[in-house]
Each structure stands twice: as structure tokens, then as C-alpha cells.
Amino acid sequence: MIRDSIQAVPSSPGTGLLHRVVAAATGALAASGAGVSVMTESGERGVYAASDPLTERMEEMQFVLGEGPCWDAFTLRRPVLVPDLDGESPDRWPMYRPAAWDSGIRAVFSFPLQMGAMRLGVLDVFRRRTGSLAGEELATALAFAEVTMTALLDQHEEAGTGAADGLLDAGEHRAEVFQAQGMVMVQLGVPIAEAMVRMRAYAFAHGRRLDEVARDVVARRLDFGRDRS
């Protein structure tokens, strides 16, 4: 269902996968908007995608003010669900909460984008009406968070692939990545597919390329069982 809803979003020049994901999430969750903010351990901060101008302002405002559900979800490593902004304590987000309310936002739901110890950012969902996410809606939102994380990793790897890479021996790089994947699987005791996701998440969080991370794993300069940051 998630894949179908994303594919149903019309693509246009300059609109990447992340923008289609937030547009699909907005529709599937009966929201007024959805946005993706990147927050990594290496210090990268910023709004990567927003379904509409208001959502983009709500995302940016959290960085300007240094507070909001996005920050809490990232710091606490768990969803922050606020079905009624006006029902929150005045001490909670004293600047962001009234500003969002005055902009017409009534509810906010923030989902951390993370894999193991790696934190990549947050998916925020906004509504112009109060009310909780129903059970099925919550499950859908969590599924969109997983898809968003994958889309972020894909975008990061595509951006890190320059024209010069075509001159390199692609087969050698793939072999090194696969070797590292097997080593990470053993180090963490996780399935082979999850080992690859862990490697990609580490590369994103540290602003590195996947093949660079793989090279360090194979050379035993990086051990996922020991180096959790």
C-alpha cells in the first residue's frame, strides 16, 4: 500500500523521491502536511523535504527556535505524538507550540528515522485538526518512517556518486561492500539484509560513502560490534 501510494504521486522536474514520499504520507494519514528533517551525529541539520510551504516553515522553525517535537523525537529516539497542541503544558516548547498553533497547526506527530544506534533525522506529520492517529494510521506512519529512511540513504548514495566513479572498477567495489556486509552481519548478529542497512545508515550519519565504510570494515578499522556511534 505504501509503495502504491508513493508511485501514485505525479513526478515533476526537480521533485525527488523524498518529496513524493511526504506527499504520499500526507494523503495516507489525512494530514495537512509532512516533512523530513535531517539531524545526524556529524552535525548535519536541515529540512530535506516538505509537502507544502507551511510544512516547510514549521520544520525550519524548529531549527531556528531549537525546540519542538522534531528535536524530542530525535533526542528520545521514539515517536512524539501530540494530538492537541493546545492541550500541552505551556512549558513544553514555549516558543514553538504557540507559533505552530497561530499558523493553524493543531496536531503534530514526529517519528525518528533510525536504525540501531544510527539516527538520521525525523519524519514530521502535521494536521490542522486535533485528534490522535488511529491504530492503523499509526502503523502506516511508522511504515512511512521506514520508507523515508531508505529514501534518505538512496539519495545520499546517489549524491555521492560522481562522474569519476565510472572510471573505477565497479566490480571490485561491489565485492568489497559484500565482504564488509558479511563481516557486519557477524559483528552484530543480524540478518544479512539488515547488515547492509546498518552500513548505509552509518555512512549517511557520518557523511561518508558506502564504499569508504566498507573499506574500513574490511581493513578492520571499523567494527560495528564495538563502534556503535
CATH of residue 199's domain is 1.10.10
**Mean pLDDT of the 186-205 span:** 85
Domain count, the chain: 2
Q: Which of 130, 158, 186 is the last residue of a domain?
A: 158
- What pLDDT score does 166 carry? 39
Which of 158, 185, 200 delimits the end of a domain?
158
pLDDT at 15: 59
Q: What does the pLDDT read at residue 156?
A: 67
Residue-wise pLDDT tens digits, 146-192: 999 888 887 766 665 443 343 334 445 567 888 888 889 889 998 88
Within-domain flag for 226: no
* Residue 117, domain member (yes or no): yes
**What's the confidence (pLDDT) of residue 119?**
84
According to DSSP, the β-strands at 45-50 and 33-39 are antiparallel
3-state SS of the chain is CHHHHHHCCCCCCCCCHHHHHHHHHHHHCCCCEEEEEEECCCCCEEEEEECCHHHHHHHHHHHHHCCCHHHHHHHHCCCEEECCHHHCCCCCCCCHHHHHHHCCCCEEEEEEEEECCEEEEEEEEEECCCCCCCHHHHHHHHHHHHHHHHHHHHHHHHHCCCHHHHHCCHHHHHHHHHHHHHHHHHHHCCCHHHHHHHHHHHHHHCCCCHHHHHHHHHCCCCCCCCCCC
- Radius of gyration over every alpha carbon of the chain, rounded to an integer in angstroms: 19
Whether residue 46 is found in the same domain as residue 153: yes
Does residue 4 surpass a pLDDT of 60?
A: yes
Does some domain include residue 91?
yes
Same domain, 44 and 154: yes
Residues 57, 129, 24: CA angle, nearest 5 degrees: 65
Please determine, for residue 214, whether its predicted confidence score (pLDDT) is greater than 80. yes
Residue 228 lies in a domain: no
For 197, the domain range is 166-218
39 shares its domain with 149: yes
* pTM for the full predicted model: 0.72
Regarding predicted confidence, which is higher, 62 or 5? Answer: 62
113 or 176, which is more confident? 113
Whether 106 has a pLDDT exceeding 60, the answer reads: yes
> Residue 3 has what pLDDT?
72
CATH code for the domain in which residue 72 is found: 3.30.450.40
